[in-house]
Amino acid sequence: MKDWPYPRYVAHRGGGKLAPENTLAAMREGYAHGYRMVEFDVKLSADGVPFLLHDDTLDRTTDGAGRADTLPWAELSKLDAGSWHSAAYAGEPLPTLSAIARWALANGAACNIEIKPAPGVERDTGTAVARAARGLWRASRLPPLLSSFAEEALVAARAAVPELPRALLVDEVPPDWQARLARLECAALNADWRGLDAETVAAGHRSGYRVLTYTANDPQRVAQLAAWGVDAIITDALDVVRPA
């Protein structure tokens, strides 16, 4: 198994439940709680700017509405992405991938970039995010890990920037998961914690793959996953799951 340079404990969407997800404020919150790796979602604006947002639409986590990929970055940048969480974060903007990269590099934080394409632009998003990541982290010895549920996006990312490590995200571990990882040339499987067991983790390691999991929030369950040798545990519970 190749060396794995990433921390075991990862802050989900930057700050878990403690700050508005996928914002710079969230990254700072995760870092303040001792997390040295952050996970976040990246998609493309209408004019091709990689920025952070989980949903296909703006409604849940901003004061905008409708599909996020229909607006140019100049419009997206004006939205409030913090008020939905709490008044303390009112006015927090959506960040670009480049802004997160500058913060991460300045603070020595590792990044798991989930490629989160809007429907129909999987290939374009995978290509654009991978190329942006290559440029932004060019001088870093610790590259970001690219992950996605969208296999087409991973194929595009591999074609564009094959040297960046990739992980396949799954809700349930499929019977052919090792064959999928081999076909996509992924370094890791990232599965819902409820679908993982010790044998799956061991099988991945025997085959030379790393195993990640999301989103484990109970400290006892996190401890069990760590005992199984899970390589990275993504959590929302930053105030109760303490990174070792």
Dig out the tokens for 64 from the structure: 């905008």
Q: How far is residue 120 CA from its own chain's centroid?
A: 20
CA distance 207 to 231: 14
Question: Of the residues 33, 54, 85, 205, which is catalytic?
Answer: 54
CA distance 35 to 243: 6
Residue 12 is a catalytic residue: yes
Using left for φ > 0, alpha for ψ between -120 and 50, and beta otherwise, residue 143 falls in beta
Measuring CA to CA, how many Å separate 107 from each of 12, 68, 113, 196?
A: 17, 29, 17, 32
Strand segments, DSSP code E, in the chain are: 9-11, 37-44, 50-52, 110-115, 145-148, 166-170, 188-192, 210-214, 232-235
Phi, psi of 98 (to 5 degrees): -65, -35
Residue 85 is a catalytic residue: no
User: Could you list the active site residues?
Assistant: 12, 54
